[in-house]
Amino acid sequence: MIQEKLREKAKELLSKKEVDLIIGFSEWTLPLRTTPVFIRTPEGTESLAWNSFCENNLATYLHKFGRFKVGIVVKGCDARSVVALSLEKRFPNHRPLLIGVPCQRMVDRKKVKKAVKGEILQAVEQGDLLVVKGEDFEVTLKRDDFLYSVCRSCTHRTPNQADFLIGDPVEEFPLDEAHPDVSEFEGKTPEERWGSFEKEISRCIRCYACREACPMCYCTECFVDSTRPKWIEKSLSPSDLAFYHIVRAYHQTGRCSGCGACERACPMDIRLTHLTQKLNQEVKDLYGFETGIQPEVPPPLSTFHPEDEQGFIK
C-alpha cells in the first residue's frame, strides 16, 4: 500500500539522518481534506497519509526551510515546481530529496459537496469509489466524476524527477482534451476575451491567497506591496485588478507547473488557471518547453542567445 511504503521511506530517511525534516500530508479533522505536516522524528512518520485529497503543492513550503535537509512528498506537478525552483537557485545549501508518488488525480471536494444534500461528516475511498456519509445519508460516488479540472487534463502525473518513487509509474494520458478552457478562450474574439477576463476577475478581493499558495511566488517583496516604486494602487478598480492578474500570470510564464493550487486557494472561485494554462501552452508551442520536465533546461524566458528568433521586434 502506497501510504505504508511512504511511511517506511520517510522513517528510513529520518533514521539514517539523510534528512532533518519530512514535508508530507496527514489526515485532518474535516472530511475530504488533508493537511500539510512537518515531521522531524522517525516515529512521527506514522502520521503520513496518502489519498485523493493530498492536493496541496507542498513545494511552496520549501522556501521556509532553506537551512535544513528536507525530504518532501511530491506528485507530478509538485516535482516539476521543485525542479523549476532548483533552476532558479532556490536551494543553495541542500537540494530537497523528492519522495515521489505517482498521482491518481485529486478529488475536488466542492464538486462532491454539490452532489450531496446535507453536511458531509465522513468520506472514505474504496478503490475507484468514494463513500460519503452524513447524519442521515450515505452515497457512493465514482471518484473520477469528481476530479479537479487541472487533474483531468494532466499528462505528467508520475514524478520522474523524484529521488525515490513510491509505487509504479502511471500511464500518462489526459481524461479530457488538454486545457479545454484554453481552447474555448482561444475561440473568442479579442473583445470577447477581454470581456470574459474582466468579468472573471471582477470578483477578486485581492486577498492574495493565490500568491501565497503558489510555490513560484517567493519574492521578498511582491510588486503589489512595493511602495518605492509603487506599481499598483490598493483598489479594486478594474484597471488595478487587471494589472495584478496580468502581471501575476506573466510572472508564471514558463515557471508554472499547472498544479492549480492558486485556483483552489481562491475564496472567490476565480478561474486563475485560464491565463496560466494559456501561457504554458504558448511556451510549449513556441519553445517545446514544459516547466520542470527536464531538470537541466532553464525556462526559455530566463535565457538569451544572440541567435534567438527576433522577428517579433522588427
Q: Nearest distance from residue 272's CB to ligand SF4, in Å?
A: 6
Dist CA 275 CA 68 (whole Å): 35
Q: Residue 62: is it exposed, middle or buried by C-beta count within 10 angstroms (0-12/13-18/19+)?
A: buried
Q: Which is nearer to ligand SF4, 7 or 251 (CB)?
A: 251
Q: Nearest distance from residue 9's CB to ligand SF4, in Å?
A: 19
Q: Nearest distance from residue 23's CB to ligand SF4, in Å?
A: 16
Where on the chain is the footprint of ligand SF4 (CB under 6 A)?
57, 75-77, 81, 103, 105-106, 150-151, 154, 157, 204-210, 213-214, 216, 252, 256-262, 265-268, 270, 272-273, 276
Half-sphere exposure of 132 (CA within 13 A, CB side): 23
Q: Nearest distance from residue 142's CB to ligand SF4, in Å?
A: 17
Half-sphere exposure of 138 (CA within 13 A, CB side): 4
Dist CA 121 CA 32 (whole Å): 9
Q: Nearest distance from residue 205's CB to ligand SF4, in Å?
A: 5
Q: Which is nearer to ligand SF4, 14 or 62 (CB)?
A: 62
Residue carrying C-alpha cell 487587471: 242
Q: Which is nearer to ligand SF4, 44 or 56 (CB)?
A: 56
- CB of 102 within 8 A of CB of 6? no
Within the chain, strands assigned E span 21-27, 34-39, 70-74, 97-100, 122-126, 129-133, 138-142, 164-165
Q: Which is nearer to ligand SF4, 39 or 213 (CB)?
A: 213
Q: Which is nearer to ligand SF4, 46 or 269 (CB)?
A: 269
